[in-house]
Amino acid sequence: MAERKELARALDDDARFGELQLESLSPSPAKAVQELSEYEWRSPGGAAEVRADQGPDGREMLDQRFAGMKQALENATDEDRQRINEMLDDLNDLLDKHFAARTRLKTFKTS
C-alpha cells in the first residue's frame, strides 16, 4: 500500500500513529473501509486505492463473497451451524477487544 510506504519514510509521531491505525484495521473489508473513511491520508495513492475499493468493482467483489457465504450456509448441517455460532461468538469477542484497543489509542492521541 502506498500509504504504508509514505508513513515508513516519515519520522514524526503522527506517522507512527498512522501506522498503528493501519495495523489495527478490522479484518472485515467493509468495516476496514468504514474505518479508513476517517483516516487522514498522507499518500494520494493510498486514498485512491481505498476509493477504488469503495467503487462498483469493490462492491461487486463483496457481493460475490457474500453470495458464496449465503450458498454455503443454505447447505449447512446442524453441526456446521453450531461451529459457525461458536466462530461468530469468538469474532464478536475479538471485535470488542479491537474496539477497546482503538478507543485507548484515540484517548492516547488526544492526551
pLDDT tens digits, 22-48: 888 888 777 777 787 778 888 877 777
Top pLDDT among 44 and 82 is at 82
pLDDT at 90: 93
CB of 1 closer than 8 Å to CB of 44: no
CA-to-CA separations, 66 to 29, 30, 61, in angstroms, rounded: 12, 11, 9
Q: How far apart are CA 108 and CA 61, in angstroms?
A: 36
CB of 79 closer than 8 Å to CB of 87: no
Top pLDDT among 2 and 51 is at 2
Window from 59-63, 81-85, 89-93 with minimum mean pLDDT:
59-63
pLDDT at position 77 over 70: yes
Nearest CA among 31, 14, 23, 11 for reference residue 108? 14
Helix ranges (H only) for 1-111 are 2-9, 13-23, 29-36, 44-54, 56-74, 78-110
Top-ranked range on mean pLDDT: pick from 41-45, 56-60, 88-92, 106-110: 88-92
Place of cell 499518500: 43
pLDDT at position 55 over 60: no
CB of 2 closer than 8 Å to CB of 49: yes
